[in-house]
């Protein structure tokens, strides 16, 4: 992506940037200077604050940094504080998540906004435990399968606890139309040869989802509420999401970790531990069998979205094909074809049910002899539907492993 001219307004101490590429654009707001102590007071002078933030007149800038989510600064006042800048803003729900998650999340203690856009979030620096990412890397390199599975289970439980904590705060009905429109937009931007639309279960309610969850964001039994990934700037969400999308993000990060470490562990066994831990702690409705039902989308379609987001970021950065996302996407079309072929069984079940009902209606009230044929059709319909549902790919199996297991 190339930088283009930009004349958008910005608060004192900040400047706005716009980047554009083929089918994509991204607007950013970043600090101009943060080198001397007085710069901080200037930066926040036009911003509104929420929560617990440091007194700007008595701060010292200790160090500056930057990561893939944006610039950071460690500042010292009565405490040591970590200031994390949000170059592409957020969905506007960081404060809501932080005040609603209780002890289940590592939340910012405060932040700054400009015109309803999150610009900075603030944390008190504390001595933290080792992240789950480092723990997983250690146990996987050592070949300790038992410890690896236990870490994954505890990560699933931590995410499930967060979802249970925020369940009562904000839920809205499923939004499959917008979810499908978003997927369509990403596929068109990437000129992808894969197309996936799903009905989604009525249990997949929208909630205060985190969005991008990785093992580096989990410490102990808490999940970090942090800044959005750059894909959220390239493809801004115009909808809310269900809890299973957070799980899909973490499951996909497991695929990244497994690939980066060239692990010999069975990825299916690892995914089972992670998913099982989440289902132990998450609200029952949000992790029901209906939510995981792959013929209606399940976990698989959200994992597909995560792969697409990896690709769209790599395209914008010209950083090469991201693995394992690209490999997984290659298997999406045959994966979908298998599910489409399964619909033949579902159609036969519907036809048998239709024949049963139509036979009953045409011969109502039926005699003892006439009732046998409708009962036969109803039994066939039930058994065929059971068989059809059993053909749905299980959530523990990634796209590239499905055909080695099920032919």
Name the pairing type of β-strands 105-106 and 222-224: parallel
Do both 322 and 199 map to the same domain? yes
- Quick check: is 400 in a domain? no
- Quick check: is 198 in a domain? yes
Give residues with Cβ within 8 angstroms of 169, minimum separation 6: 96, 100, 208
Do both 211 and 280 map to the same domain? yes
In this prediction, the residues of the chain whose per-residue pLDDT falls under 50 are: none
Do both 259 and 387 map to the same domain? no
Identify which of 118, 114, 120, 127 has the alpha carbon closest to the alpha carbon of residue 79.
127
Do both 313 and 354 map to the same domain? no
3-state secondary structure of 342: helix
Q: Range of 48's domain?
A: 2-124
Buried b (16+ CB within 10 A) or exposed e, 91-106: bebbbebbebbeebbb
Do both 374 and 343 map to the same domain? yes
- Quick check: is 186 in a domain? yes
- Quick check: is 324 in a domain? yes
Do both 10 and 142 map to the same domain? no
- Quick check: is 407 in a domain? no
Alpha helices in 289-371, H assignment, sequence order: 289-292, 298-317, 325-330, 332-362
- Quick check: is 402 in a domain? no
Do both 113 and 183 map to the same domain? no
Do both 160 and 261 map to the same domain? yes
Do both 322 and 343 map to the same domain? no
Do both 152 and 286 map to the same domain? yes
**CA dihedral sign of residues 134, 137, 138, 140:** positive
Identify which of 258, 225, 244 has the alpha carbon closest to the alpha carbon of residue 304.
244
Do both 158 and 56 map to the same domain? no
Q: Which residues pair with 207 in a beta bridge?
A: 171, 241
- Quick check: is 218 in a domain? yes
Per the structure, how many domains does the chain have?
3
Identify which of 96, 52, 301 has the alpha carbon closest to the alpha carbon of residue 210.
96
Q: Which residues pair with 224 in a beta bridge?
A: 106
Do both 367 and 302 map to the same domain? no
């Amino acid at each position: 992506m190339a930088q283009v001219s930009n004349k958008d307004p910005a608060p004192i101490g900040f400047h706005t940037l716009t980047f554009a590429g083929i089918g994509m654009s991204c607007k950013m707001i970043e600090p101009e200077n943060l080198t001397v102590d007085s710069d901080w007071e200037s930066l926040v002078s036009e911003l509104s604050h929420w929560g617990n933030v440091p007194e700007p007149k008595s701060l010292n800038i200790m160090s500056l940094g930057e990561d893939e989510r944006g610039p950071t600064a460690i500042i010292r006042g009565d405490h040591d504080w970590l200031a994390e800048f949000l170059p592409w803003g957020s969905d506007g729900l960081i404060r809501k998540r932080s005040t609603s998650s209780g002890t289940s999340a590592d939340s910012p203690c405060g932040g700054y906004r400009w015109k309803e856009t999150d610009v900075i979030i603030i944390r008190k620096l504390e001595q933290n435990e080792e992240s789950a990412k480092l723990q997983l890397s250690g146990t996987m390199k050592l070949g300790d399968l038992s410890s690896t599975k236990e870490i994954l289970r505890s990560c699933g439980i931590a995410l499930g606890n967060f979802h249970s904590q925020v369940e009562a705060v904000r839920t809205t009905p499923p939004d499959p139309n917008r979810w499908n429109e978003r997927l369509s937009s990403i596929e068109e931007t990437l000129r992808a040869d894969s197309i996936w639309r799903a009905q989604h279960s009525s249990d997949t309610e929208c909630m205060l989802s985190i969005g991008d969850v990785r093992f580096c964001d989990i410490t102990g039994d808490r999940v970090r509420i942090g800044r959005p990934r750059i894909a959220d700037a390239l493809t801004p969400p115009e909808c809310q999401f269900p809890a299973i999308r957070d799980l899909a993000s973490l499951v996909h990060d497991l695929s990244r970790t497994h690939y980066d470490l060239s692990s010999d562990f069975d990825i299916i066994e690892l995914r089972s531990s992670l998913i099982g831990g989440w289902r132990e702690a998450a609200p029952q409705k949000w992790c029901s069998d209906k939510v995981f039902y792959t013929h209606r989308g399940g976990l698989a379609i959200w994992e597909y979205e995560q792969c697409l987001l990896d690709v769209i970021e790599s395209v914008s950065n010209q950083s090469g094909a991201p693995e394992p996302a690209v490999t997984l996407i290659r298997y999406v079309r045959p994966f979908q074809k298998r599910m489409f072929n399964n619909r033949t069984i579902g159609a036969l079940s519907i036809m048998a049910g239709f024949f049963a009902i139509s036979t009953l209606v045409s011969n109502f009230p039926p005699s003892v002899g006439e009732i046998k044929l409708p009962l036969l059709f109803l039994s066939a319909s039930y058994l065929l539907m059971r068989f059809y549902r059993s053909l749905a790919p299980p959530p523990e199996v990634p796209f590239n492993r499905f055909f080695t297991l099920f032919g």
